[in-house]
Amino acid sequence: MDQLRITAHLSGPLVTGGGYLTFDALLASATYSLTQDIEQAHNQLPLKQVAGLYHASAAIYEPVAIGALAIVQAMRPDDLWLDHQWLKKNKRGAVHTKFDNLSDNILTTYKTIAAPTMTWYCEGDADRIRVLLAHLPLIGKKRVCSVTQWTVEAGELDGLHGYADEPLRPVPVELWDGDKSSPIVDAAWRPAYWDATGRTACFVN
């Protein structure tokens, strides 16, 4: 595998719910969309992996502007994606189907980042990565940020260590062999990033 620099040329602000937007998370999303195989999406990406840690950095960018985006969404009981465990039940334990029994619409606010490009460093298989990136025309939460071009080229970093030996992504304390002066926070460090059980003490930049 080679050291690579990946650049996304962006059109429109990127919506984020927080986190580090690591490159392995992007590839995991593309892999699952193509294969519907959660095991492959989490554990068989075309990236160097040691002790479960992918050599793939968090997003690096220079924001032009930081903003916010509010999204209003109604929770309908007939939506196929909606887990019924979160909906109000009647006395028989069945989901209510009349809208007057549901709570008001949900308003969620997200941070937005306007930047012309985002860059990641990694160690991986360039050809296989290009195939996955071709299936990521939109990135970020709610997929509203368009990628006008992906660039995959030789890079100078391994996806873990920066030029000053700082961590380029959350790295568990026991796996980090670089500069130990960086902050330690509780963070997710591998897919699935939404799973709270996957969080641990990590060095971050």
Q: Which domains does the chain have, with CATH numbers?
A: 2-64+115-169 (3.30.70), 67-109 (no CATH)
DSSP string, the chain: -EEEEEEEEEESPEEE-SS---HHHHHHHHHHHHH--HHHHHH--SB-EETTEESBPPPB---SEEEEEEEEE---TT-TTS-GGGS-B-TTSPBP-SGGGSPPPEEEEEEEEE-SEEEEEEEE-HHHHHHHHTT-SEESGGG-EEEEEEEEEE-SS-SSB-TTS-BSS-EEGGG--S-TTS-EEEEE-SS-TT-GGGEEEEE--
Q: Which of 118, 125, 119, 117 is nearest to 3 (CA)?
A: 125
pLDDT band at 122 (very low <50, low <70, confident <90, very high): very high
pLDDT band at 20 (very low <50, low <70, confident <90, very high): very high
As a whole number, mean pLDDT of residues 163-168 equals 97
As a whole number, mean pLDDT of residues 154-174 equals 97
Per the model's pLDDT, the better-predicted residue between 89 and 96 turns out to be 89
What percent of the chain is modeled with pLDDT above 70? Answer: 86
Query: How is residue 40 written in tokens?
Result: 């492959």
pLDDT at position 107: 74
As a whole number, mean pLDDT of residues 132-144 equals 91
Per the model's pLDDT, the better-predicted residue between 138 and 103 turns out to be 138
pLDDT at position 103: 53
Sheet holding 171-172, edge to edge: 171-172, 199-203, 184-188
Contacts for 34-38: CB closer than 8 Å, 24+ residues apart: 34/132, 34/135
pTM recorded for the entire structure: 0.82
> Lowest-confidence range among 62-71, 89-98, 157-166, 187-196?
89-98
> Lowest-confidence range among 126-130, 141-145, 198-202?
141-145
